């Protein structure tokens, strides 16, 4: 992982969210291309990068987040391992994991 990746996570995550929600097939970060993938069963879009997983909210779930996604909110979850690390809602980055 580049030394500055975690320090600049917010900026990278916002670029990833923008690419994902504008239906791009990849995101370009500092000149490198990273493909946006889809889970086979749910067809949700995601990107794995440097130990982080960026996943769009599943609107088919039964949660307040899914309900928000169904009415058009753009929600991206950022995981590190199995931990909810951060989320983006309509371009607003919220760090969840305090270290």
Per-residue confidence (pLDDT) for residue 1, from 0 to 100: 54
Distance CA 50, CA 70 (A): 30
**Which whole number is the average pLDDT over 65-74?**
94
Sign of CA dihedral 20, 79, 82, 32: positive
pTM reported for the whole predicted model: 0.88
pLDDT band for position 26 (cuts 50, 70, 90): very high
Please report where in the chains the tokens 């950022």 appear, as a residue. 78
Counted residue by residue, the chain has a size of 99
pLDDT of 3 strictly over 70: no
Please report where in the chains the tokens 């990833």 appear, as a residue. 16
pLDDT band for position 76 (cuts 50, 70, 90): very high
What's the chain's average pLDDT?
89
**Which whole number is the average pLDDT over 10-26?**
93
Residue-range domain boundaries for the chain: 9-95
Contact residues for 37 (Cβ-Cβ < 8 A; gap 6+): 45, 46, 47, 48
CA distances from 13 to 61, 66, 70, 79, 94 (A): 23, 20, 22, 11, 11
Per-residue confidence (pLDDT) for residue 5, from 0 to 100: 66
**Which whole number is the average pLDDT over 51-65?**
92
């Amino acid at each position: 992982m580049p030394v500055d990746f975690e320090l600049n996570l917010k900026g990278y995550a916002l670029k990833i969210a923008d690419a994902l929600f504008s239906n791009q097939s990849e995101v370009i970060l500092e000149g490198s291309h990273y493909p946006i993938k889809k889970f086979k069963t749910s067809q949700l879009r995601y990107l794995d990068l440097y130990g982080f997983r960026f996943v769009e909210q599943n609107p088919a779930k039964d949660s307040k987040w899914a309900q928000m996604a169904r009415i058009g909110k753009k929600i991206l979850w950022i995981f590190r391992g199995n931990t909810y690390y951060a989320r983006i809602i309509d371009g607003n980055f919220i760090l969840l994991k305090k270290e």
